[in-house]
Chain A
Amino acid sequence: MLKAMLKKEFTLILRDKHALAALFIMPAIFILIMSLALQDAFKSDHPFIHYALIDRDQTDLSTAISTALQSSESFIFHDKTITDKKQLQQALNGALQFVLTIPEGYSRAVRLESPDIGLRIDAASDVKQDMLTLFKGKLTQLSTQLSIQIMLQELEAMLPGISKKSEAIQKANSNIKVYFSGLAPDQHPTSTQQSVPSWIVFGMFFIIIPMSTIFINERKQNTLMRMQAMNISFPLLFTGKIVPYMLINQIQVWLMIGMGIFIVPLLGGDALSLGTSITGLFLVSLGLSLAAVGTSILIAVSANSVEQATTIGGILNILFGAIGGIMVPKFFMPQSMQTLSNISPMSWGLEGFLDIFLRGSGVREILPESLALTAFGGVTLLAAWGIFSLKTRNGL
């Protein structure tokens, strides 16, 4: 009996090109695009600030600042001739984020501790505040460090060896190694580790579209009524929906993981690493699947038409995704939004997946998310059951 229902549901989905596109192609494309697009943002050793430099001072200090900036791994120097305001504007409207001007007399002002002459930064209007902070910080560090070096060189005659000692201290201070939690010493978080779980979660909730379409058509055409007259009970009817869509969700999860492991690297992105807990991965994906199926059935039994269900389902998915950190990663959000994101079941699923993919966690760590998702799925299924019983009693 259940076998017939599973076969029917799979056949109907396989013949629905729109459903297949929403369930498999859409998340796969998102994974590819986002993994490649955000690749640089996750690389700590990758230059990402584009700047030009106007040196009006032409001294040892200004040259040293210029050289040190160019050797920094976070900055990309653009050799541009900027002599007037128009050229400056054009440069900032193009690829540059900053134009640094070292004014005439800067070196002398540093030596004489005159605050009147300082460095000038012209920034593009769309530059992010954290980039500006980083650029300013780097400049402050360089100018302080180089000024001290110049002063130490002047003191060398009185205190022989002081310059070398200072260099050794600086080298020791700059020898900083970063170890990411849950990752091997040579590993760092990648855009693929962030994108794959996000778009798996988003894609899983898209079963709302095919499920509600099939379910509402069955209701409208009295196929459900016919099945009921053939002794198909509500539990069996619901099981006939839950099982195939949970299986489809699991196929989605493993296909998208496969995308992350095999396809993204082929296109130049970082490969996904699975983490250490496959059991944890199963638990999160099963909980998430139950939550997605529960939400889908609840919408399918509540809506009066396919159009209504697909509209409500689509909007709900986008809202869950936007709040839950799918579209904008949570670490970009302010604290209040991060707290708000906890209302979205997509956020619980995403955190569970990130625990495994990104933080190297195991079953114990993902258990709260997995249980919350299962409970959410249970509650939505119970609500769907109640609404469906009520509607059936009133003649479907």
Chain B
Amino acid sequence: MIRITHLTKYYRAVPALQDFNMKISKGVIFGLLGPNGAGKTTLISILNGLTPFQKGDVEIFGMSLQKNLRQIRKRCTLVPQSLALYENLTVMENLHFFAGIQKITGSTLQNNLEHAISVNRLQRVLAQKAGTLSGGQKRRLNIAIGLLNTPEILYFDEPTIGIDPESRNEILETIHSLKKENQTVIYTSHYMEEIEKICDEAAIINHGEVIRQGDLKTMLHETDDSTQTLNLESLFIQLTRDNQEGADA
């Protein structure tokens, strides 16, 4: 579904992604893990056609991203880390606006609205201004907006940042439920337990390179002596430390 080969991106002279390779299959929830500045957000921006890159190829749905950007975008959605919505509009007005600019009308609009609202449990706050919602409700509205075009690929950039554990669990359940609809989710987070809880596959990236990628369960069982089971946090620390030592050497 997504194939990234030899992707290189520089911000002026500073490398953000270097000879980056990755493959993501259809219908998986894919976790992107990495410390701050590892290149996660840059990668998400590139996959959404928001940031140009210098070298390499990106193919989504078997099409070149650069040549077919508009078609690819129609089948994807981005749920940004920040609350990209209008606080002075009601929940319903926000949903109608983002549906309107994507030319979603008629019965499709009705069906997609109902789906986005029910999946995110927003029925009771539809007439409320977004600015008056709780942190968790705002995050759910942020996700609901992303579901309006019934995307095949959803990019979530740290969608649970700054909210209470209960709301976080609700959001994780929502994202997990998307798997049933065969939607592909690319999920970035600082929280290892979130990735462990909902992702099928993951990639650990550091300094703009993939240092480990694969099935999450397999990754957690692959240790040096192949006898010890790790949790994701200790694997992450071990891999990023090794990567740092390698870079220093």
Cβ of A3 under 8 Å from chain B: yes
* Complex interface: chain A residues within 8 A of B49 (CB): 229
Partner pick for A222 among B74, B84, B101, CB 8 A cutoff: B84
* Complex interface: chain B residues within 8 A of A1 (CB): 100-103
**1/0 contact string of B87-116 vs chain A (CB within 8 Å):** 011000100111111110000000000000
- B75-83, B185-193, B200-208: which one contacts chain A? B75-83
CB within 8 Å of B: which of A1-45?
1, 3-5, 7-8, 11-12, 15-16
Partner pick for A4 among B50, B83, B97, CB 8 A cutoff: B97
Query: Are B97 and A229 interface neighbours, CB within 8 A?
Result: no
* Complex interface: chain B residues within 8 A of A226 (CB): 78, 80, 84, 98, 145
Interface residues on A, range: 20 to 34
Query: Are B101 and A395 interface neighbours, CB within 8 A?
Result: no
Query: Are B88 and A225 interface neighbours, CB within 8 A?
Result: no
Bound: A7/B92 CA distance, A: 13
Query: Are B84 and A231 interface neighbours, CB within 8 A?
Result: no
Query: Please, how many residues of chain B have a CB less than 8 angstroms from a CB on the other chain?
Result: 33
* Complex interface: chain A residues within 8 A of B96 (CB): 4
Query: Are B84 and A223 interface neighbours, CB within 8 A?
Result: yes
* Complex interface: chain B residues within 8 A of A221 (CB): 82-85
**1/0 contact string of B42-71 vs chain A (CB within 8 Å):** 000100111110000000000000000010
Query: Are A7 and B70 interface neighbours, CB within 8 A?
Result: no
* Complex interface: chain B residues within 8 A of A5 (CB): 97, 100-101
What's the A-B contact tally at a CB cutoff of 8 Å?
74
Cβ of A232 under 8 Å from chain B: yes
Bound: A394/B50 CA distance, A: 10
Cβ of B10 under 8 Å from chain A: no
Cβ of A134 under 8 Å from chain B: no
Min CB gap B174→A, angstroms: 18
Identify the closest chain A residue to B149 (Cβ).
A230
Query: Are B70 and A225 interface neighbours, CB within 8 A?
Result: no
Bound: A392/B149 CA distance, A: 24
* Complex interface: chain A residues within 8 A of B84 (CB): 221-223, 225-226
Cβ of A239 under 8 Å from chain B: no
Identify the closest chain A residue to B80 (Cβ).
A222
Query: Which of B74, B78, B101 lies at the interface centre, i.e. has the most chain A CB atoms within 10 A of its CB?
Result: B101
Query: Are A16 and B88 interface neighbours, CB within 8 A?
Result: yes
Query: Are B51 and A395 interface neighbours, CB within 8 A?
Result: yes
Query: Are B89 and A12 interface neighbours, CB within 8 A?
Result: yes
Q: Which residues of B contact A (CB under 8 A)?
A: 11, 45, 48-52, 70, 73-74, 76-78, 80-86, 88-89, 93, 96-103, 145, 149
9 contacts between A and B (CB under 8 A): A1-B102, A7-B100, A11-B88, A11-B89, A12-B89, A222-B82, A222-B84, A226-B145, A230-B73
Q: Which residues of A contact B (CB under 8 A)?
A: 1, 3-5, 7-8, 11-12, 15-16, 220-223, 225-232, 392-395
